[in-house]
Chain A
């Protein structure tokens, strides 16, 4: 498919990337391209400028910090799957990354791209809400850090504004986590997903994906029915069935989390 004409820049640093993003309202960050390039083919997105982050090593780090993880926005799913730091501090991330699409997509797709595209069917938004991740966003005026609840704003919308860039994601340590989804084919697009974490400082966190514009956060499986109000209906599942799946998958995710040894 021939894409609409577009300009391309390969910045040498995060600062330069932010400058390119701020210079043109039609500029978009290109992470792994596993969503953006396809939606450009369909003309659903038509950016004027692509700012390619692939070469920015400063966005690729995986570090242990305060027992938890600090992940660069350009860490790929394949990196999550093979990282010893991830295996130590938050193994659920590797497990879920391994359920996204296929080898080729996992080699290019990134954690930052997954959350910034914020498609309600993506795996990582509900997972990162359950894990109580914090997101650092850089712009011309400096950095700010927001919670997962603040980060996911709406369908395809996040707290990252024009001229800004998600640079890293901090994830607290923990091991009693679970993830369950009903997907279109093995490792395919989620119809409903649920992530649970029992290790949070504020008690259990359960986040349901695909049932609203942003992941729905509850503290107990019993709250799911009341919190999921109007899930979408489509060719894959009716609203009623999604409501049913939300409750079943939340229970499965919690069950899985309970079966794991505390760190």
Chain B
């Protein structure tokens, strides 16, 4: 039993580090990550659930962190773009984005990488159609999608 509250203490594991903070119920997960935890690798683009720049993986599920409250994340394990190169070495996926020039301004890249990782974790050899479906929720406004799709396909090999 827990009566409705305006703020609560939230404990999360983000990329292997545990954090405990008092959070207002109205705070979105993306703002908690960026403003409270200072983890600015995850971007916020449209703030309307369309662009996917804020995509993270919560307890194994890819989602947009502008459409989840921080208090909902209490007790979860969150993976962000900042945890990909854990030991300082780029992952094969990140390296493929670099090699294939899959980014220009880079704004969408944190979300693109998380969607691509989510795809490859469950489907190591995706078709081009599956790759395109997997990044449907991520919008790139400069490079376009051809190089991004090629990078994901290359990382899958």
A residues at B contact (CB < 8 Å): 1-12, 16, 20, 24, 27, 33-34, 37-38, 41, 49-52, 54, 101-105, 107-108, 186-187
Number of A-B contacts (CB under 8 A): 98
Does the CB pair B4–A104 fall under 8 Å? no
Interface string of B48-85 (1 = CB under 8 A from A): 11001001000001111011110110000000000000
Does the CB pair A5–B49 fall under 8 Å? no
How large, as a class, is the contact surface on chain B? 35 or more
Does the CB pair A34–B62 fall under 8 Å? no
| Nearest-Cβ distance from residue B49 to partner chain A, whole angstroms | 5
Does the CB pair A5–B24 fall under 8 Å? yes
| Nearest-Cβ distance from residue B98 to partner chain A, whole angstroms | 24
Query: B3: CB under 8 A from chain A?
Result: yes
Query: B6: CB under 8 A from chain A?
Result: yes
Does the CB pair A1–B28 fall under 8 Å? yes
Query: B105: CB under 8 A from chain A?
Result: no
Task: Find residues 70-115 in chain B having any chain A CB closer than 8 Å to their own CB.
Answer: 71-72, 115
Closest to A7 in B: B4
The 7 closest A-B pairs by CB, nearest first: A102-B137, A8-B25, A7-B4, A3-B26, A9-B4, A102-B136, A104-B137
Using Cβ atoms and an 8 Å threshold, which residues of chain B touch A54?
72
A42 to B125 Cα, complex, angstroms: 40
Using Cβ atoms and an 8 Å threshold, which residues of chain B touch A49?
4
Does the CB pair B5–A37 fall under 8 Å? no
Closest to A1 in B: B47
**Residue in A2, A16, A108, A186 whose beta carbon sits within 8 Å of that of B67 in the complex:** A108
Closest to A23 in B: B4
A81 to B71 Cα, complex, angstroms: 28
**Residue in B4, B61, B138 whose beta carbon sits within 8 Å of that of A107 in the complex:** B61
Closest to A48 in B: B4
Does the CB pair B62–A6 fall under 8 Å? no
A101 to B138 Cα, complex, angstroms: 11
Using Cβ atoms and an 8 Å threshold, which residues of chain B touch A41?
47-48
A103 to B133 Cα, complex, angstroms: 8
Closest to A19 in B: B1
Given contacts A9-B3, A10-B2, contact A37 B69 (CB under 8 A): yes
Closest to A42 in B: B48
